[in-house]
Structure 1
């Protein structure tokens, strides 16, 4: 089955990543000086591609390391692939900056979309050997055990996460405005550096919500299904339901979703203000 193939691919890549975390790496920059890639990212993606192609030779694969840097290239690559009957969406290391520095918060993210709709997702944390999985209509699991989103009903009782987008002149500044506003309105905020793993933590009830601007399909696809199958809600930062083209994302336990949307609007931090204004 496809979910077993995705788990196999994620864990094989994870073994390489775990072996290399404390070794010297060749580090290159991509879109900005904050957007890094190593030879391990590329090797891990090749492992994943080999496993997926062996099991599903007729399926298409959209992997981060096969796409040119920058938001526009990411959008164009997705548009060229999004209507495939079967499309694997792969991030070999989500949290490369953490990986480079030996900060143990990064993961492998693999999703399968059918004609643009995510049907399964796997997020594997190789340092903790935690494998988060979801299949549409079958719930979400962590190492085989069912998981659910948290039960906080009030933003003031919520632990929220975000990130710092690579575009430090645009999206990062806007995202930080949301962080500043929400920091006094929720219990606390975490910025650990992996969007996919943050979303897995929302699904597992470890975080109440996560938002960030200018993310890519490979950052979000697997995590979006995990959150939804764990009973949560995923939209863009205006409240439009998630689809694989979403770049400004909000994932929550569902109970504080409207409050989060309201705060992001009030902070002018949805990422859509420029287009709308």
Structure 2
């Protein structure tokens, strides 16, 4: 069993405390589905409460670190560490809203532009994915690695789809068609942080999506790298926290999946 560092203990404690509130609120969502009240308002409140708990716990443990969070303004570090927390208190909000038990808390620590630690916690399944730079990636303290599949026809690929008029739907449909024809299947589960964690754990062989925000993938980024995976923009360029797209795979299929995703653009 892996021994967690003091830093990961801070992150885990914060995630666990926020998760207790999310699980209580999740139990109430189903009741709201049959009422005329706005369940989206309830979920927004749950999201904000979780973010407040995470910020309080992380700030208490590391008072000088900055913050980049989904629901509030960015806060610069007040010390000379050059570190900031990148937090998504509820990744998979639509799933939560519809009583689907697939969502997560995502916490990453950035140091001068580099992600040095990350945690993705699924409170319903009690799956805790975590990684630190140079220390490997773990699921509930068990070492994880990306899959070793090399043939695209054996691979299961995850993605995120445009919705409600957002994104380029014709382009995405072309990509889906190309990938579907050459793989064992595609999954769209609606929580990018978990999709990336699942690639790190070998559950998925690859993942692609456009239009994500840093808090959607920051923690997943280090999980992938520490699990032996490869991550870039969809065009192969190095991924940054401002990148417009992400392509994450095991080390074997990255170029093959990238070529498939380029096919619709060349037609």
Normalising by structure 2, we get a TM-score of 0.88
- Which of 113, 119, 142 is the equivalent residue of 1:145? 142
> Pairwise CA RMSD of aligned residues?
2.2
Residues paired across the two proteins, number: 252
- 1:172–1:17: structure 2 CA closer, same or farther, 3 Å change rule? farther
1:6 aligns with 2:3: no
> Does the 8 Å contact 1:175/1:213 carry over to 2?
no
- Which of 44, 60, 69 is the equivalent residue of 1:63? 69
SS at 1:224's partner residue? helix
- Which of 8, 11, 23 is the equivalent residue of 1:18? 23
Alignment of 1:193-232 (within 5 A): 193-232=190-229
Match of 1:242 in 2: 239
- 1:169–1:91: structure 2 CA closer, same or farther, 3 Å change rule? closer
- 1:173–1:44: structure 2 CA closer, same or farther, 3 Å change rule? farther
- 1:114–1:177: structure 2 CA closer, same or farther, 3 Å change rule? same
Residue segments in structure 2 that go unaligned for 5+ positions in a row: 1-5, 33-37
CA distance in 2, matches of 1:120, 1:154: 31
CA distance in 1, matches of 2:219, 2:22: 19
- CA drift of 1:9 comes to 1.1
1:192 aligns with 2:189: yes
State which structure, 1 or 2, has the greater radius of gyration over its C-alpha atoms.
2
CA distance in 2, matches of 1:174, 1:46: 38
Match of 1:50 in 2: 56
- 1:217–1:167: structure 2 CA closer, same or farther, 3 Å change rule? farther
Q: Deviations over 1:8-50 (max 9, x none)?
A: 1111111111111121465448xxxxxx961100000000000
CA distance in 2, matches of 1:187, 1:42: 38
CA distance in 2, matches of 1:248, 1:121: 20
Residue segments in structure 1 that go unaligned for 5+ positions in a row: 30-35, 68-76, 270-277
Deviates more, 1:173-182 or 1:144-153: 173-182
- CA drift of 1:170 comes to 2.9
- CA drift of 1:243 comes to 2.0
